[in-house]
């Protein structure tokens, strides 16, 4: 029997600890209001490699070594890698993982990938299938832009509703010993599609999925906004966040200032970046380097994190398909002191 499952929400009997985490971002992200929070800021988006794609791989490889070092463990101590990115066939995660002698699960949840990895890793840990799991996700403005939209040489016009893909990567080590926060619940979302066909308006496409997952999470656990110090989405950015707020208010759920969004935060609302940040890295770098430190310090205690993803592809856009959305959630809490 699925005794740990309530609706779409899993309650962990043995919550895995986040024993270490790391973040790396590009130069634009480093200039933002959160720039000092990240472990590493790249001066060169190619990381001294010949291509943007190779640079993204180098960025992630450096991050993994940094994160393992924080926990003072070696790659041989890791039971599984769970990771993904935005590129076709998740080549960043695949090519990084080939350099490690560790069983690998490659996933694609678009920009929800980081939270999806944490949810899957937590299930494996609580199920007794692993003692240490490394989750990571990455995105890159240059690589994503030329894959999903147009060559960078054409220039990109930011009209206000489109978003700037965050260059960066975040990694999380799940284990049993060490760390001051743990993952207590996960809510697995459904694919929601309300017919948005503007591939640039990803916030509008993802907001309904975020609303559906948040409402389901509250129903499953008989909770509400009052039970969380913060509710933070991945990359709805400015427009998507407003839509999400309206959708929740239609169901009499008022979040007030508790509702935040990583994509809206990372660039500080500057018009150069359109509605704000997007990409796997938007949530991957902020959860660990901005939110978890606030939990550890006592400023926050329990946070609901919702990873949001637009499940489009270059081919689906050319075929005039709509943009389905997905949202997964995890609850990160401070471990009670004994």
The SS3 assignment for 31 reads helix
pTM above 0.85, yes or no: yes
- Same domain for 155 and 42: yes
Distance of CA 318 to the CA centre of its chain: 27
Note down the domain range covering 43: 5-175
- Residue 148 reports pLDDT greater than 80: no
- Same domain for 169 and 191: no
Q: Among 155, 175, 195, which residue terminates a domain?
A: 175
- Same domain for 120 and 245: no
- Same domain for 102 and 216: no
What pLDDT sits at residue 47?
84
What pLDDT sits at residue 157?
62
- Same domain for 82 and 47: yes
Q: Are 67 and 22 in contact (CB under 8 A)?
A: yes
Strand 277-278 relative to strand 164-165: parallel, antiparallel, unpaired? parallel
- Same domain for 285 and 262: yes
- Same domain for 192 and 166: no
Question: What is the C-alpha separation between 40 and 49, in angstroms, rounded?
Answer: 17
Reported as a single tens digit per residue, the pLDDT across 191-238 is 999 998 887 888 889 999 999 999 999 999 999 999 999 999 999 998
- Same domain for 153 and 15: yes
- Residue 55 reports pLDDT greater than 60: yes
pLDDT, mean of residues 146-167: 69
Q: The tokens of 153 are what?
A: 């040489």
Phi–psi pair at 230, nearest 5 degrees: -155, 145
- Same domain for 270 and 307: yes
Question: What is the C-alpha separation between 262 and 259, in angstroms, rounded?
Answer: 10
Reported as a single tens digit per residue, the pLDDT across 82-109 is 999 999 999 999 999 999 999 999 999 9
- Same domain for 209 and 320: yes
What pLDDT sits at residue 270?
85
- Same domain for 210 and 128: no
What pLDDT sits at residue 161?
66
Q: Among 130, 146, 175, which residue terminates a domain?
A: 175
Query: How many structural domains does the chain have?
Result: 2
- Model confidence band, residue 334 (pLDDT cutoffs 50, 70, 90): very high
Beta bridge partners of 106: 83
Q: Among 126, 143, 175, which residue terminates a domain?
A: 175
- Same domain for 41 and 23: yes
Question: What is the C-alpha separation between 279 and 227, in angstroms, rounded?
Answer: 28
The SS3 assignment for 192 reads strand
pLDDT, mean of residues 32-48: 92
Instruction: Give the rounded percent of residues in the chain with a pLDDT score beyond 90.
Output: 79
Beta bridge partners of 277: 164
- Residue 151 reports pLDDT greater than 80: no
Reported as a single tens digit per residue, the pLDDT across 281-307 is 999 999 999 999 999 999 999 999 999
- Residue 154 reports pLDDT greater than 60: no
What pLDDT sits at residue 149?
65
Question: Domain holding 235: CATH number?
Answer: 3.40.47.40
């Amino acid at each position: 029997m699925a005794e740990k499952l309530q609706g779409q929400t899993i309650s962990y009997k043995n919550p895995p600890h986040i024993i270490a985490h790391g973040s790396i971002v590009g130069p634009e992200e480093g200039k933002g209001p959160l720039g000092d929070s990240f472990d590493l800021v790249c001066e060169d988006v190619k990381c001294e490699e010949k291509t943007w794609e190779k640079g993204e791989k180098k960025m992630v490889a450096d991050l993994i070594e940094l994160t393992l070092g924080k926990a003072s463990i070696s790659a041989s101590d890791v039971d599984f890698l769970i990771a993904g990115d935005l590129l076709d066939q998740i080549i960043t995660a695949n090519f990084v993982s080939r350099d490690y002698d560790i069983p690998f699960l490659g996933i694609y949840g678009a920009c929800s990938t980081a939270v999806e990895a944490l949810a899957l890793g937590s299930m494996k840990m609580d199920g007794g299938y692993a003692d240490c799991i490394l989750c990571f996700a990455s995105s890159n403005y240059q690589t994503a832009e030329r894959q999903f939209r147009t060559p960078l040489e054409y220039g990109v016009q930011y009209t206000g509703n489109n978003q700037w893909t965050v260059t960066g990567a975040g990694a999380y080590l799940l284990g049993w010993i060490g760390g001051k926060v743990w993952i207590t619940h996960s809510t697995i979302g459904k694919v929601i599609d309300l017919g948005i066909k503007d591939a640039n308006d990803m916030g509008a496409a993802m907001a309904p999925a975020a609303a559906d997952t948040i409402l389901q999470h509250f129903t499953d656990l008989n909770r509400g906004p009052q039970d969380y110090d913060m509710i933070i989405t991945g990359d709805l950015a400015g427009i998507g966040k407003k839509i999400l707020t309206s959708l929740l208010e239609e169901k009499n759920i008022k979040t007030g200032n508790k509702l935040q969004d990583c994509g809206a935060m990372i660039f500080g609302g500057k018009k150069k970046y359109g509605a704000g940040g997007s990409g796997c890295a938007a949530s991957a770098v902020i959860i660990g380097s901005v939110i978890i430190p606030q939990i550890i310090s006592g400023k926050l205690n329990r946070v609901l994190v919702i990873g949001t993803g637009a499940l489009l592809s270059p081919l689906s856009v050319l075929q005039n398909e709509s943009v389905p959305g997905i949202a997964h959630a995890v609850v990160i809490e401070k471990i009670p002191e004994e």
